Amino acid sequence: MMRGTGKADVFVMLAHPVGHAKSPGIFNQIFEEKGLDSLMVPLSCRPEDFDIFWEGLTAAENVRGVIVSVPYKAAVFEKCAGGHDRAVRVRSANSVRRNPDGSWYADNFDGVGFIDALKAAGHQVAGKRVVQVGAGGAGASLAYCLAEAGAAEIRLSDVDESRAETLAELVAKAFPTCRVVVGAADPTGMDLVVNATPMGLKPTDPLPLDISALTPDMTVVDIIMEPAETPLLQAARRIGCKIQPGRPMMDYQVEAMAEFFDIDRKDRNDG
């Protein structure tokens, strides 16, 4: 089947910046392999233009779904008419699809992909002590899923301390067997170290935490996909830590997102 015709289903990858995003390449390859007349287009806008941008995207009738990244996950969720519990509990969406009436429905696969990727690599979560830097859109999803997977303790650190405190209270209420606290970005005494911030996307970014406290018995995870090995992971590798890059997290989200978007739909009207 020819792709990119006037009948094509259009999907969007939204981020600012969007140049590091892997989703368009991954999904366009899937569309090609499946012979689907579908496209995923990377788009970006300045945060101050988001409302206007979203109005235009909603008005574009052939846009069936959007994958959402930093810094728009919370803002996009607020534009949705409803969502899966995974999105509702963190008020953050990393995927939205078009409802029949033209409104949007939200889901969040960040935590799902994160946990599945850790398990596939042989990293244990149950009973572990975790320090997580970042309590924003992705971080909120990760914290819930870490607690759900049986983490014994989660220490949250964020530049917005009130945001971290709110998230800690919500996660602790949902999973009372997990101790959830707010503290410094200090991995001392922890088993699992997680960067859920954008720090590391740019070469000039500072490290998200104090690497001097890392020890070889720790596992260090970064959810950033580009660069493939961030400065944090490079430092952790030199120290002898086990490391987990961000790409596997996305890989484990792709199948769930494809199902969510129903990319193989059989009921399209070609009239």
Q: Which of 7, 73, 128, 202 is catalytic?
A: 73
Helix (H, G, I), strand (E, B) or coil at 179: strand
Contact indicator for 69, 49 with CB cutoff of 8 Å? no
Contact indicator for 72, 57 with CB cutoff of 8 Å? no
Q: Give 65-134 as a DSSP string.
A: EEEE-TT-HHHHHHT-SEE-HHHHTTT--SEEEE-TTS-EEEE--HHHHHHHHHHHTT---TT-EEEEE-
List beta partners, residue 43.
14
Contact indicator for 248, 117 with CB cutoff of 8 Å? yes
Could you give the CA distance from residue 161 to residue 156 in angstroms, rounded to a whole number?
A: 9
Nearest to 258 by CA among 31, 2, 83: 31
Active-site residue flag, 73: yes
State how far Cα 118 lies from the chain centre. 14
DSSP 242: E
User: Two tokens at 220?
Assistant: 């260090």
Could you give the CA distance from residue 108 to residue 94 in angstroms, rounded to a whole number?
A: 5
Residue 150 identity = G
Alpha helices in the chain (DSSP H): 23-34, 50-59, 73-78, 85-88, 110-120, 137-148, 161-174, 231-239, 247-261
**Which residues are designated catalytic?**
73
